[in-house]
Amino acid sequence: MEGIYSFLAFYERKTAEVYEKIRPSIKNGTARLLISILAIDSRKHSEVFRHLSGGEVPKTAPEADLGPVAAEAVRILDEAESLIGKKAPLEILEGLVKYEKLMNEEYLVEIYAKALDLKQKNGTIKKVLNSIAEDENRHRDFLEQAISLEKGEAGS
């Protein structure tokens, strides 16, 4: 499991960095708040996974075969990062909706399957992973709300 935790710690930190970079260019105040929450949660997740990995957050992307869902999530995140400053923030955020959806599925399906033995032995770890999965479910919702607010489609 340690390799998976290092991988997740790295990509959660990168997720936080992407949201932190996009946030200042969001005009709607409530949308900025929602993006802040996504960044704070991702920093929290990175720290939790770093703790579980028993080491430091890797400086470069770790190799881990986590299946096609994780590979697609990484591809979307890398693309979003490369588009910062080149594309409109709203377009980048729209691309990240699918990422948050995939991350939720990732936690629920792939990670849970791999952590099943551990979870059965350790009820506390199970609660920790469940709380992260709940955050991920909320992220997609918050991100979609932030996009609507920024587009002026919803009242702030």
Give me the residues that bind Fe ion (CB under 5 A), please: 12, 42, 45, 100, 103, 136, 139
Query: Residue 10, Cβ neighbours under 10 Å: how many?
Result: 22
How would DSSP label each residue in 70-120? Answer: HHHHHHHHHHHHHHBTTB-HHHHHHHHHHHHHHHHHIIIIIIHHHHHHHHH
Distances (CA, A) of 121 to 90, 105, 118: 43, 23, 5
> 141 or 152: whose CB is closer to Fe ion?
141
**Nearest approach, Cβ of residue 102 and Fe ion (Å):** 10
Smallest separation (angstroms) from Fe ion to the CB of 100: 5
Residue whose CB is less far from Fe ion, 136 or 150? 136
Instruction: Kindly state the smallest distance separating residue 138's Cβ from Fe ion, in Å.
Output: 8
Q: Which is closer to Fe ion, CB of 120 or CB of 134?
A: 134
